Amino acid sequence: MSKPIELTDSIFDKFVKENGNVVVDCWAAWCAPCRMLSPVIEQLADERTDITFAKLDVDTNRAVPMRYGIMSIPTLLYFKNGKLVDKTLGALPKQMVESRLAVFD
């Protein structure tokens, strides 16, 4: 079972540049919608080996959320070759997240 990779502010830039297609789940432990989205991200991490899934705790990592203007969570950031290509907000159902993965095709 593939788990999303835990990111920090210090490794974020290098990670998204070196891993091609990356989806970063910006979340916090106290956030109920974040906990609802987490199983979706874990399922997709198992199913989509062409995309790297990662998580960034916004409570302990504040620089990246500030840089990308994250005002509410959960927020998914979609990176292609180190460049932000899409952003979604809220606990989206799996089908909606899957449809946004088309940015990598």
Within a domain: 21: yes
Answer yes or no: 31 catalytic: yes
* Cβ atoms of 40 and 47 closer than 8 Å: no
Within a domain: 103: no
Q: Which of 16, 23, 26, 34 is an active site residue?
A: 34
Is the pLDDT at 75 greater than 70, yes or no? yes
Q: Which of 7, 22, 23, 31 is an active site residue?
A: 31
Within a domain: 68: yes
| Residue 2: predicted pLDDT | 74
Within a domain: 80: yes
Answer yes or no: 34 catalytic: yes
What tokens does 7 get? 């990111």
- Domain assignment of residue 33, given as a range: 5-96
**What is the overall mean pLDDT for the chain?**
96
Q: For the domain that residue 50 is a member of, what is the CATH number?
A: 3.40.30.10
Band (pLDDT 50/70/90 cuts) for residue 86 is: very high
Is the pLDDT at 1 greater than 70, yes or no? no
Counted domains in the chain: 1
Within a domain: 82: yes
Q: For residue 83, which phi and psi values (nearest 5 degrees)?
A: -110, 135
Within a domain: 47: yes
